[in-house]
Amino acid sequence: MTGFTPITGHCQCGAVRFRVTAPPVKFYHCHCSMCRRCHGTVFGTYAVVPRENLVIERGEDNLTTFESSPGTRREFCKSCGCQLFAEEDARPALRLYTPATCDGWPGHAPSMERHIFVGSKLDWYQISDGLPQFDEY
Ligand SMILES: [Zn+2]
Ligand SMILES: [Zn+2]
């Protein structure tokens, strides 16, 4: 991975710390109702990396898991509630992390960034950033 500087991230309370050692293979803002409700935001932003490129450096035992839909497990800090990771049975070699919890730029190509599941978007929220929009993953 030439040119990529590993980035670190952590939850709000600092109990869980992680490091990402590769740029993402996908990067998206998801408007599905599971992301909206689990994050408590108008969309959930995720970066996707090969599983071995996400290293939990501290606090793995402080993570708890919620299966928000069949085969999708979200992992968050059980002290502060911060959404940190997710994994999907459909993509076992990959792991998702929340780039908004990182200290640096996740290194995605600008052309990779997109909105997904926009059919589930909140009516009162207007996407105005010019990024591509998709009604599926
Ligand atoms: Zn925490
Ligand atoms: Zn979603």
Q: What is the pLDDT of residues 83-118, one digit of tens each?
A: 999 999 999 999 999 999 999 999 999 899 999 999
- How far does residue 135's CA lie from ligand 1's centre (Å)? 32
Q: Tell me if residue 109 falls in helix, strand or coil.
A: coil
Ligand nearest to the Cα of 76, by number: 1
- Closest among 97, 69, 100, 68 to 84, alpha carbons compared: 97
Cα distance between residue 33 and residue 95, in whole Å = 20
- How far does residue 96's CA lie from ligand 1's centre (Å)? 17
Which CATH code of 1.10.3720.10, 3.40.50.2300, 2.170.8.10, 2.170.150.70 fits the domain covering 7-120? 2.170.150.70
Burial class (CB in 10 A: 0-12, 13-18, 19+), 88: middle
Return the pLDDT at 56.
98
Return the pLDDT at 3.
77
**List of the chain residues with pLDDT < 70:** 1-2
Return the pLDDT at 137.
81
- What's the whole-model pTM score? 0.95
Average pLDDT score, the chain: 96
